[in-house]
Chain A
Amino acid sequence: MSRTPAAEHPHGKRNDMGRTAPPSRLRGEGLTLAYDQRTIAEDLTVAIPDDSFTVIVGPNACGKSTLLRALARMLRPRAGRVLLDGAELHSRPARQVARTLGLLPQSSTAPDGITVADLVARGRYPHQGLLRQWSRLDERAVRASMEATGVAALADRYVDELSGGQRQRVWIAMAIAQQTPLLLLDEPTTYLDIQHQIDVLDLCAQLHEEQGRTLVAVLHDLNHAARYATHLIALRDGRVVAQGPPGEIVTADLVHEVFGLRCQVIPDPETGTPLVVPAARRRAAV
């Protein structure tokens, strides 16, 4: 398998120039992604840097969720391959992959009448089997992930009684209980109000920093992406327009190229990361 840095970012105009490619356990090579007749991306190559909090951004229908689904083996690529630790994702045993790579899907359904603790416990699925039932290790993982996400106090509550923000935390807790070094999140902040969006993103940043997990998230909000990501991948029409640390790649030109939006990019007064300020209507006409 080719691991030459040159092959990695064929479309990356503004990728981390000159640097050697960081090590990457999860990568997609020459991916053609399609639903039925509709082709979303062709010959798409991405690598998720290890230990990064990678955020994929782009306009609607640019293929960002599709790419994430392919990386999470929810979607089998028409061509190309997704490699996890150098081996093709779809050819590896499902349970074994599930111990390395977790996914929080865009929408999940909680069974009626399930408690928070029971739902989080279902994250232990890949660690159990017919012969290996519930163990103290599972118990500890469930408790730790509930504590890390701040839902321990809700353990005996019913999931369907919780607010949207709390519910999202519980789902994240379930994904954490799976104890995968890589965790993919598909639009984890959608449907949440601004306070809970920040709450969830802070939680993600905390998981990334304190637990050393590699996170990959699809986010709609470019400013959130620029603030929280350590590595940003900007997609348009199924190809990578730019990738790298937000501070290096987020410019007014890039935003225009990716989103077709005139804007100013100023330093975020809180964090110093790039802050995208869309142009006002009068000036946009210029």
Chain B
Amino acid sequence: MTLTQPSETRRGPVARPRGPRRTRGGRGAARAAGLLAALLLLAVVVVLSIAVGAKQLPLGTVWPGLTDPASAQYTVVHEMRLPRTLLGLTAGLALGLAGGVMQALTRNPLADPGLLGINAGASAAVVSAIAFLGVGAYSGYVWFAFAGAAAVSVLLYTVGGGRGATPARLALAGAALNAALLSYVNAVMLIDAASLDRMRFWTVGSLASARLDVVAQLAPFVAAGTALALALARPLNAMALGDDSATALGARPGRARAGAVVAVTLLVGAATAACGPIVFVGLIVPHLVRSLTGPDLRWLLPYCAVLAPVLLLGADVLGRVLGRPGELQVGIVTAVLGGPLFLHFVRRRRVARA
């Protein structure tokens, strides 16, 4: 039985994540080093996020501002920059991980909290709360947003077929829910001018109204969602080969799918509740990461968790610089920045095939 050496099947010039031969261990080491570099990058962005704003802080004063109550910067850092930065970290991590899990779950490279209607569910709940229940306080929105995201996730899972859900059905159900819910949100906002005004800022996605107590409220949900998502990396890896192969390998696709929906709800619900629907972070970060790590979710998900906050905080800092003396909302910056970046990736890689 001779095996012909393949040479004819290579398709066009395609950018590939890795160079020539490397041993398995070497590749693991490279991935670990990359993760470390990503963490360093995150640290840099965090410092910038604390330093940059309407009142510019010299980089040297960031540390004293954080730790020394006597420092002149202490109030600015603790009242404004720190909550905002922590919220960006938490929300970014949540959205990036959720995007990675959703793309794996639906085997659809376009899956992201925005496109599957989970953001829209949160928006619909918030707009209902403002227009019909008269909820005015920011801290009140949070729980409605969470409930809305959870309701849509459950609906998505049920309509998508429950334990027998197929990736295609999940994606279709998500798209339909998204369209319906967004129409509802727009209708309510058109009818009720007052709620339109209040909703406006929330619906574009912003870190500006960050408060430490909100971050603290949401942190447990994000922590639970993160733990669940990372624990699902292996089963989702097996499910990437098809449900039959996954079952043959000893994974349980039905259980893993339910777990993934719970993880996504926790992560997206928390992030959306805190800063409104921020699009593109959950879509583009997993794509970018896939070109670095390959499709192995045991690496892809941790990378997403680190690089998504880099993108979100980076966009937030950029919004503060570009919008001076005011600022651009982070949701706008990520979309404006993310669109062209995404197009670039589509051109460079065959991302359309999950």
Contact = CB atoms under 8 A, between A and B. Distances in A.
B81 interface: no
Interface in A75-125: 94-99, 101-115, 117-119, 121-123, 125
A108 B8 CA distance: 23
B295 A94 contact: no
B35 to A, nearest CB: 16
A248 interface: no
A108 B240 CA distance: 9
Interface in B245-287: 245, 247-252
Contact of A123 (B107, B249, B251): B249
B55 interface: no
Most chain A CB inside 10 Å of its own CB: which residue of B241, B247, B296, B354: B241
Interface size class of B (residues with CB under 8 A): 35 or more
Given A109-B107, A117-B24, A103 B244 contact: yes
A228 B22 CA distance: 38
A128 interface: yes
Interface in A187-215: 199, 202-203
A94 B6 contact: no
Contacts of A104: 248
A166 B350 CA distance: 22
Nearest to B11: A161
A100 B270 CA distance: 42
A162 B244 contact: no
Given A103-B248, A112-B353, A139-B24, A162 B6 contact: yes
Interface of B: 1, 3, 5-6, 8-11, 16-17, 20-22, 24, 107, 231, 234, 237-238, 240-242, 244-245, 247-252, 290, 294-296, 350, 353-354
A248 B326 CA distance: 88
Interface stretch (A150-158, A237-245, A278-286): A150-158
A109 B24 contact: no
A113 B295 contact: yes
Contacts of B290: 113
Nearest to A121: B24
Contacts of A106: 244
B245 A157 contact: no
B170 to A, nearest CB: 15
A163 interface: yes
B262 to A, nearest CB: 18
A128 B354 CA distance: 25
Nearest to A151: B3
A113 B17 contact: yes
B237 A122 contact: yes
Contact of B248 (A105, A150, A160): A105
B9 A162 contact: yes
A125 B244 contact: no
A153 B5 contact: yes
30 contacts: A72-B247, A74-B247, A94-B251, A98-B249, A98-B250, A103-B244, A105-B242, A105-B245, A108-B241, A108-B245, A109-B107, A109-B240, A109-B241, A110-B241, A113-B290, A115-B294, A118-B295, A122-B237, A122-B249, A128-B234, A150-B3, A151-B3, A156-B20, A156-B21, A161-B10, A161-B11, A162-B6, A163-B6, A199-B1, A203-B1
